[in-house]
Amino acid sequence: MKKEKVQVRICVGTACFVQGGSDLLLYNDFVDPAIIAECEIEGCSCLETCKAGGEGAPYVQINGEVHGKVTQEEFARLLAEAVRKNA
């Protein structure tokens, strides 16, 4: 059976986007291609966490879990971790 890819959703709601989320869209430039191959990355509408008083934009959802204040480095680290767990 083919194993499931890691489901990654980058919030591209306006608030996340202008507070650094836009940077994450360049993932091809800073994440290991081998890791990207294991992931299914998509942009998504507001995850509603910001309205619930989350820790801060930009938000990313990885396999259902929401992470806040994600920088490029953090994003690369989170993906690598998720891929490792998935294996």
Partner 1 sequence: MLELNNQYTAMKRRIDTEVLKLYFDGRLESDLDKLPYTIIPKDRTPNRCCIYKERAIVRYRIMALLGIDIERNDDEMKPLGTYAKEVLEEDPPVLPLLTTISTGCYGCPPDQYRISDACRGCFARPCMANCPKDAIVFINGQAHINEERCIRCGKCMDVCPFHAVVHIPVPCEEACPVGAVRKNEQGVVEIDHKNCISCGRCARSCPFGAIAERSGLFPVLKMLERGEKVTAMIAPAIEGQFPGTLAQIKASLLKIGFDKVVEVAEGAAVTTEHEADEVVRRKCEGSGYMTTSCCSAYMELVDKHLKFLDERYSRAFSPMIYTSKLCKEADPDNKTVFIGPCLAKRVEAARRGGVDGVISFSELAAIFMAKGIDVREEEAADLGDTSAFEYCREFAVSNGVANCVLSRVEDPASIRVMPINGVDKKIFRLMKSWEKRAPEVDLVEVMCCDGGCLNGPGTIVKPAVAMKLRGGKAASPVKAVRSPL
Binding mask 7-46 for partner 1 (x = CB under 8 A): -----xxxx-xxxx-xx-xx--x-------------x-xx
55 counts as binding partner 1 under rule CB under 8 A? no
- Give the integer Cα–Cα distance in Å for 72 and 5: 21
Looking at the Cβ atoms of 4 and 22, the one nearer to partner 1 is: 22
The helix/strand/coil state of 58 is coil
2 counts as binding partner 1 under rule CB under 8 A? no
81 counts as binding partner 1 under rule CB under 8 A? no
The phi and psi torsions of 4 (rounded to 5 degrees) equal -65, 145
